[in-house]
Structure 1
Amino acid sequence: MNPEIPGFYYDPEKKKYFKIQPNHASPPGAQYSQESVKRKRHEQEEQEKQAHVSRRIARETVLKPSFLHHALISVDREVGTRLFSAAELQDRQASIYVSQLKRTKLHQFEPWPGPCNIRHVLRHPRSGILITTGIQGNASSVSICFPDNEEEKWTYNQTMERLLFREPYRLSSISLSHTGYLLATMDSGPQGESFLSPRLLPNPDEGGDYRWPSQFLHPIRIRTTQTLWCSAACPTGDKALFAVGTSDGLHTLEGQSSHWTLSQKPLPKEQSNRGQGFRRHGNSSHASVQAVEWLTSDVIASGLRNSSVFLYDVRSGENSLRLQHSQSVTKIRKVDPWRIVVGGYNSVEMYDIRFAAGGLQHKPKPMSGSHISSRPYLSFRDFSPEEIPDFDVSIELGLLACASDDRKVRFFSLNTGKSVRSPLLNTPYRRPITGLCFEATGEMSPLGPQTPSLLVSSQATVDQWVW
């Protein structure tokens, strides 16, 4: 505090001393007349008194305990028991949820024209349309089943089944966009050709009937020469946008109605340079993208056959090699914008892409004993998949579900990697489990499940696991 000098006033804003002028000698409105200085000092004293009172009130006021707002939730903190982190609390909730799961048959597709094995299963969250892909001999098919909207919840019967198409191709993937477009990727045709088929699914009208738009009575076919491995739909946007993994790198398919654009995206420089001086094969491991996943509406994670995982930014067109899995990448699932679960033929691990990529091999060979993989953020060591491995994650529950080799659905915590027990493990399926799909509750219709559910397909049957 600056010392007080008789006959002078210290202005804290200007940080200077000013001589106090007599009232009769100072002009009207002078800042440093005796009357003005007296008024300023009085205001300063009042401000100091108010600040002192405020500090005293804050110091002596008894605050309401936080546990009184949520007595049952926070009572453990007040009595001095161990606090639970958000991850631990989510694990406890997931364990309780899994213990109460009930397995019900959702629908059994008619085996026409012969026995069918379902390979993929999805459900439209708003319309309730059940979508499956099947394998019948040397042909693949895409079938849908419309729900009965007259009931209090979605129910399905074989009279509401529709076959979208059945072709002598290998159906590698299906993806459902938030815009209502369904994309099927087909390859290995009679002449070795491939095609992509986007199609708009109908929404129910006021009477609950489903009517196809006239321009979509026949599916669109976009023919390519590359082998098609996988696809994933962008979660946002006005138009449908799909990421497609092929034997010749990453592609995107964007459009609507009958106007679609298929564009190829560049591979990371580390991958592109590996092809120099070598003969390029159709399914070269350094260019074959076998798994894709949207981390955000602008970033795509792509897994290669040679175990590498790289990120592609749609906005800038740039890409970056981030990690190497222990095996060829077969599936990628997002946990959050920086953590991904990467699956191989018999291994599933979680990686955090915020860590700098280091120790990446110039020519990774996942089948070789000298292969070096990136250090995972979390490992699921009890993972023992079916012959065709499949898994899915639920961000709401913090769980990973996979089909095991003993024909059971096993759950793992996304926080610890440990197995989560379920009473349904005591009743294995008679046939191998071929498809898994978690359903979130965010955009689900009131006629659908109001809690997270899991769709499980085995042979021609689709089951629903829900509390």
Structure 2
Amino acid sequence: MAANIPGYYFDPEKRRYFKIENSRTAPSNAAWSSENVKKRKLEDEAAAAALRRMNLTKNRIARSKALSEPLMGGFFARECGDVGRDVLAACFAEGVLEKGQMLLGDARWGKGSNVRHMYISGQDTKTGLGTAYANLDDFSLISTYIPRDKNGRVHRRLLAEYVTPGNQIAPYQEMAIPQISDIKYHERTNQILITSQKPGSEVSMWAFTPKVTEPDDRRPHWLLGRSGVEVYTNIQTRGARPHRDYQAHCVAPAPPGSDSICVVGTNRGLTQWDSSGAMKWLTPPDLPHAPFRDTFAVSHLSPPVVLFGGRPGALYRADLRARRDSWESPVLRGPGPLTHARCLDAHQVLVAALGSHLAVYDLRFLSPPSSTSTSSSDHHPQSPRYNGSRGANAQTPVLTFPAYLNRAHISIGLDLDAASGVAAAAHDDEGGTVALYSLRSGRRLRCAALDRSPAPAQAPVRSIQFQTFPGDATPTLFVGRGSSICAYSFGVEGVGDEA
């Protein structure tokens, strides 16, 4: 440390002393001018004083010893605002109650199996009725209104309080589509989208626009049945000859900001229906060794970026603005065929696969494998691709769900609600369990209403959907159990109970 010599300034960079010179004769930027030396001395004193105050303040703050106690500390921590990761999701799950059901099966349709596919709409701000499109068999698309009382309970008899179309009470026969595989809704064009798994020389899907009533009309926002639809459109994408086995497995409606209407997952890759009405292949359908085979899961990461996967167990990222050959390397290889891929945000995706695999992956750490790379980073423990004995292409998820159970079913229900941080997933056990999971910890949440649900006619449950209705603060979970759509929502047992 340099000695403090009166009348001299020590420059730490040049490591030498300079005589302090009057500011009028010294250069303007000279560090040894009297004015600059005085200014620097005041700044150093102020910085030293601030450091002393910070250290004194830091020493005054001490964590209470009571907070380290297992029981008492937990209560005190909660009162002090230290909320655990699962508090919101756990509170929601424990408050979920059974809220009735809407029967779809009657003399016209069978009652032997679970609801296969369904879409629940909750945009009727006029009457508050929910709207459901579903199928119970291989060819009948049916629809129904979902009425609720003041306590949010669902029952068919409540339909008598509304003015519904036609002389027949719900459910209604909409149309006959062979081997329905998925039902979704595209908001921008107000169209219901239905895909078909019937093998043929082209990929086939159907679309129709529900008739919307005027604001002063006492009937619901959407009219169901034959009186509610004027035109049913069949959209087809011809495949390569002589193949006659093309099937549509799933459909993903395009998000806001996209020019297309939807992307369809098929048994030979992806097709797209754009706003011009044209249906085109996004992946080559006729390559003898094409990497894109059965696609059971499609999700939009952004308007131009699509994640898709299925059999074999690989997840691909398709940027519709880039060359198609850039999609051919998977960003993720799962332990088995993928059944679901749901984007949580701009970087994370929830992936479900056979072999009881459910996990969240961060796309920033996933990259296509390079078969020609010999870089040492491919095998370095800090590399995102490194995972020991599973090979250089095995990526580690950021979150796993150990209690998830699906060993062998492709068609199995799963949905999530990002606001509450909860995912609902069906299990392939004998009871047809539907479990709630935390999207922050992967832990299975306790939910008495779902745990004590009666066993369906046939396990597993195939259709699950969260939907939030106008005026509700929390979503309602709909489960296609047997031939009914069962409702579960956060609430109280009775109107007089304390919330």
2:456–2:482 CA contact under 8 A, matched in 1: no
8 Å CA contact 1:333–1:392 kept in 2: the answer is no
In structure 2, how many angstroms separate the alpha carbons of the residues matched to 1:187 and 1:162?
A: 24
Q: Could you list the per-position Cα deviations for residues 356-401 of structure 1 after superposition, in whole angstroms to 9, with x for gaps in the alignment?
A: 66699xxxxxxxxxx9995774464661579774131434334442
Matched-pair contact (CA < 8 Å) for 1:385–1:402: no
Say if 1:31 and 1:140 are closer, same or farther in 2 by CA, change over 3 A: same
1:122 matched residue in structure 2: 119
Q: Give runs of aligned pairs for residues 27-176 of structure 1, distance below 5 A.
A: 31=28, 37-61=33-57, 79=73, 89-91=84-86, 93-109=88-104, 111=106, 113-115=108-110, 118-127=115-124, 129-136=130-137, 139-145=139-145, 157=156, 159=164, 161=170, 163=172, 165-176=174-185
Q: TM-score with structure 2 length normalisation?
A: 0.65
Matched residues, number: 422
What's the counterpart of residue 219 of structure 1?
232
Aligned residue for 2:262, secondary structure, equals: strand
Does the Cα contact within 8 Å between 1:122 and 1:437 map onto a contact in 2? no
The residue aligned with 1:281 is none
2:198 corresponds in structure 1 to: 188
Q: Larger relative CO (CA 8 A, sep 6+): 1 or 2?
A: 2
- 2:481 is equivalent to residue 458 of structure 1: yes
Q: What does the per-residue CA deviation read over 1:170-201, in whole Å, with 9 as the maximum and x for residues that have no partner? A: 21111223534432113428x77653233445
Match of 1:231 in 2: 251
CA contact (8 A) 2:310 2:338 kept: yes
Partner of 1:338: 348
Q: For residue 5 of structure 1, report the CA deviation from its aligned partner.
A: 9.3
Secondary structure of the residue aligned to 1:274 is coil
Q: What is the TM-score of this pair, normalised by structure 1? A: 0.69
| 2:463 counterpart (407, 414, 436) | 436
| Deviation sequence 1:435-467 (CA, Å, 0-9, x none) | 432426xxx44434x224321113432111122
Equivalent positions of 1:359-370 (< 5 A) are none
> Which of the numbers 329, 338, 344 marks the counterpart of 2:338?
329
- Counterparts of 1:357 and 1:321, CA distance in 2: 5
Q: Which amino acid aligns with 2:44?
A: E
Q: Distance in 2 between matches of 1:51 and 1:221?
A: 75
Cα distance, 1:296–1:211 mapped onto 2, change above 3 Å: closer
In 2, the alpha carbon distance for the partners of 1:74 and 1:234 equals 50
Q: Distance in 2 between matches of 1:75 and 1:59?
A: 28
| % identical aligned pairs | 16
Q: 2 CA distance for matches of 1:309 and 1:296? A: 16
The aligned counterpart of 1:350 is 359
Cα deviation 1:328-367 (Å, max 9, x = unaligned): 43333345533432233x643436353566699xxxxxxx
1:197 paired residue number? 206
1: distance between equivalents of 2:2 and 2:97?
77
Task: Compute the displacement of 1:250 (Å).
Answer: 1.0
3-state SS of paired residue (1:290):
strand
State the one-letter code of the partner of 2:466: E
CA distance in 2, matches of 1:307, 1:386: 13
In 2: Cα distance, 1:78 partner to 1:299 partner: 49
Alignment match, 1:287:
293
Aligned to 2:425: 401
1:365 corresponds to: none
Supply the distance in 2 between the matched residues of 1:73 and 1:79 (Cα, whole angstroms).
Answer: 4
Query: Could you say which residue in structure 1 is the equivalent of 2:496?
Result: none
Tell me what 1:243 maps to.
263
Alpha carbons of structure 1 residues 83 and 44: separation in structure 2 relative to 1, 3 Å: same
Classify the secondary structure of the residue corresponding to 1:456.
Answer: strand
Distance 1:153 1:184 in 2: 29
User: Residue 331 of structure 1 aligns to a residue in which SS?
Assistant: strand
Structure-2 residue corresponding to 1:266? 283
CA spacing shift, 1:30–1:165, aligned 2, 3 Å: same
Summarize the Cα distance change of 1:145–1:260 in structure 2 as closer, same or farther, 3 Å threshold.
farther
Q: Matches of 2:155 and 2:451 in 1, distance apart? A: 26
SS of aligned partner of 1:49: helix
User: What residue in structure 1 maps to residue 314 of structure 2?
Assistant: 308
Residue of structure 1 in register with 2:494 after alignment: none
Structure 2: runs of 5+ lacking an equivalent: 239-245, 372-389, 491-499
CA contact (8 A) 2:314 2:334 kept: yes
Separation of aligned partners in 2, 1:22 and 1:348: 75
Q: For residue 434 of structure 2, what is the aligned residue in structure 1?
A: 410
User: Quick one: distance in 1 between partners of 2:175 and 2:409?
Assistant: 25
Whether contact under 8 Å (1:67, 1:75) holds in the other structure is: no
Cα 1:184–1:164 change in 2 (3 A) is: farther
Could you tell me how far apart the structure 1 residues matched to 2:5 and 2:55 are?
35
Change (3 A) 1:321 1:409: same
Cα contact 2:99–2:154 (8 A) shared by 1: no
| Displacement of 1:415 | 6.3
Query: What letter is aligned with 2:185?
Result: L
Gaps of 5+ in 1: 276-284, 361-370
Check the 8 A contact 1:456/1:462 in 2, yes or no.
yes
**Distance in 2 separating the partners of 1:66 and 1:199:** 65
Matches of 1:32 and 1:194 in 2, distance apart?
Answer: 77
